[in-house]
Amino acid sequence: MARKKKEIKVELPEAPAVNQPITETIETNYMPYVMTVIISRAIPEIDGFKPAHRKLLYTMYKMGLLSGPRTKSANIVGQTMRLNPHGDASIYETMVRLTRGNESLLHPFIDSKGSFGKQYSRDMAFAASRYTEAKLDPICAEIFDGIDKNAVDLVPNYDNTTTEPRLLPTTFPNVLVTPNMGIAVGMASQICSFNLGEVCDGTIALLKNPKITTDRMMELIKAPDFAGGALLIYDKEQMRSIYETGRGSVRLRSRYSYDKANNCIDILQIPYSTSIEVIIKKIVDLIKEGKLKEVTDIRDEIGLEGFRLTIDLRRGVDPDALMAKLYKLTTLQDDFSCNFNVLIDSTPRQLGVIDILKEWIRFRMNCLTRELTFDLGKKKDKLHLLKALSKILLDIDKAIKIIRETEKEADVIPNLMEGFDIDKVQAEYVAEIKLRHLNHEYLINRVKEIESLRNEIKEIEDILSDDIKLKALIASQLKEIKKKYAKPRKTQLIFADDIVESPKTEEVENYNCRIVLTRDGYFKKVTHQSLRGNDEHKLKDGDEIICSEDAQNVDDIFVVTDRCHIYRAKLSSFDAVKASLMGDYLPAKLDFEDGEKPLLIKAVNDSFKAEHHIIYVFENGKGVRIPLCAYETKSNRKKLTSAYSDASPIVAAIYESEVCDVLIGSDAGRGILIKSSLIPEKTTRTAGGVTLFTLKKNQKVVLAVSGERMAKYEGAAKCRKIKIPATGNPLTIPDVEEMQLGFN
């Protein structure tokens, strides 16, 4: 039997606790993370790209997508993961922003096909990468120009299996043309975009005059230019601060047009820093709060034509005044904060526009120097080889004889070197010439290149030895780029003098209240909080309440009187009172005519709806329904005349929001009860109506009520009629005072 091994347990002593100073912890654990975020992730470099952008574009370049057809975005994302190990979702989101379809950039780098969302919409999602396609836009030729000629350093990727460029050798100041935003640790960067043509002009001017003034640069590069367009309110001093320090803000406001036929405002461009969802939510909130009563509807009408946000207006609203108000209350006018933090030689620096261009010129001169040096080396190598051909041209037969008579292959090169006094590289070149090329024509044509090569080499050496010529070459490249890719400004400039200020309006506090009207014309606005303590109203002797309803302080009140007038007033213009007080005398408050009495009062907090009506009943037994929209005016008139027919004295005015019962009584003690829908609708305000109540000679209608006020009339239910005109049934009127004008 095998012996069972005895387990031996060894207890190791616990490691002693080490007290580490907080400064050392930060230095060893936190600072490497901070520097990685700043240098390798969040802050753009002088080429205008962050590492994620650069890795994606370089991958597409190596895939041949600069000249080839589009490929699926999923394929691009997968290939990019060889350089960027942060996951497919983040890579695709980076790609979306660079596409033409997303409309984030003035000059997109990716020519896209499919749904890539929109920069101006927070909720308009982009399609999955398996559905969309993309390739590099032609402008990327300027981004990668010289990358295959050692213009920039190539460094190992994260797993050391391939290389990627440290920077991209952009032939124009992309850092100012492409907007960029990044949040690092302890610092952030927010770079706005400028117009490509203006940036090229400004850079050329700086190349010619390194001591250019800020004012001159501001004349050439007028102001930021955003892909979303909009209007920029130009502030020269604020702009100067941005150009000199790299910090400041620009104010953008939306562009709009007024559609007179449909009485609506079409918002066509919005500030780059906001979204359509934010604007809609804010406007809806303002409408609910009663602070934007000029608007009846707002809707998103983005379509194939591009961006459009439509705001429907009430009749009589001044669109320019409304927009001036919306600019103050919503992000239809918004600020874009500038913070030009850029990595220069792996060091974050905050620079103004001129300083950024100076650093880009220094960077570009280095790239161009390396590119020219690469070309110079290639041309010198070719010249060196052609010199060997020129020697062979003197005696081709000798070269053939040397090769033919050499017994060993290894001795061909040394024998050619000795026979023609050439070096090993030249001899290798001569030995590799095809037999068919050993003719005078071929050799003479190759030798003719020697002179042109010498001229090209001298030209390159002259440029490399003279910074002025190097800058002139950069300037000529910028002129070509401007000619090929420059576009007109999308963001137009306006000045403070062009701005129409909205009239200052006092903000109205909104709260729930109850409005009360008495027969003698006394009006009260009582808060609900006040009613909790005491809801018993103080009235004048012999007076009674004829109307009571809940309302909001931001509502308007709509008053119909017995003189064919309608008065409008803001409920907020009346002071809130307690129920124990008499209230305001309405005829005095609204400046009624002598002896004029109110018939109807209604709180209006919505548009003038066509399905709502005012029912008028006259002494001659006639009645009419007038739609509320007939009283909508272009201006906010406080008094409207000829509101209804004056052919017969008015008995009552009843507000109808839905079909209701109407009780009509005569001075003979008879009445009819009909549905309001039986009363014909007339669009003409002064229509006399049709006969509702068939009266005998010298009789007249003295009463018309609806709703709860019908309860005190005995026999009302027996007066029901289904057709008009109708004769009345007996109706008991409890009080002789009811023989006066009726109210509702």
Kindly list the catalytic residues. 131
CB 604 within 8 A of CB 551: no
User: What's the chain's length in residues?
Assistant: 744
Instruction: Say what the alpha-carbon torsion angle 395, 399, 405, 409 is, to the nearest 10 degrees.
Output: 170
CB 276 within 8 A of CB 303: no
CB 577 within 8 A of CB 513: no
Residues 274 and 337: their CA atoms lie apart, in Å, by: 12
CB 589 within 8 A of CB 574: yes
Distances (CA, A) of 523 to 527, 545, 600, 604: 13, 10, 12, 16
The crossing angle, in degrees rounded to 10, of helices 276-288 and 319-329 is 100
How many Cα atoms are found within 13 Å in the side-chain-facing hemisphere of 110?
32
Q: What are 26's two structure tokens?
A: 């930060």
Q: What are 563's two structure tokens?
A: 């003189």
CB 378 within 8 A of CB 148: no
Residue 711 burial by Cβ neighbours in a 10 Å radius (0-12, 13-18, 19+): exposed
CB 282 within 8 A of CB 329: yes
Q: What are 509's two structure tokens?
A: 């506090």
Residues 470 and 697: their CA atoms lie apart, in Å, by: 110
Residues 701 and 703: their CA atoms lie apart, in Å, by: 6
**Dihedral pair phi/psi, residue 475, rounded to 5°:** -60, -40
The strands making up 545-552's β-sheet, listed across from edge to edge, are: 545-552, 512-518, 522-527, 584-585
Residue 526 burial by Cβ neighbours in a 10 Å radius (0-12, 13-18, 19+): buried
| Residue 259 DSSP label | E
**In 3D, which of 477, 415, 343 has the Cα closest to residue 35?**
343
CB 723 within 8 A of CB 678: yes
Residue 545 β-bridge partners: 518
CB 51 within 8 A of CB 94: no
**In 3D, which of 143, 140, 162 has the Cα closest to residue 151?**
143
Residues 654 and 600: their CA atoms lie apart, in Å, by: 7
Instruction: Say what the alpha-carbon torsion angle 696, 701, 707, 708 is, to the nearest 10 degrees.
Output: -100
Residues 31 and 40: their CA atoms lie apart, in Å, by: 13
Q: What are 315's two structure tokens?
A: 């009749």
Using DSSP's 3-state secondary structure scheme, residue 689 falls into coil
Residues 336 and 195: their CA atoms lie apart, in Å, by: 16
Residues 309 and 118: their CA atoms lie apart, in Å, by: 14
Residues 77 and 354: their CA atoms lie apart, in Å, by: 36
Q: Which residue matches tokens 């003979």?
A: 668
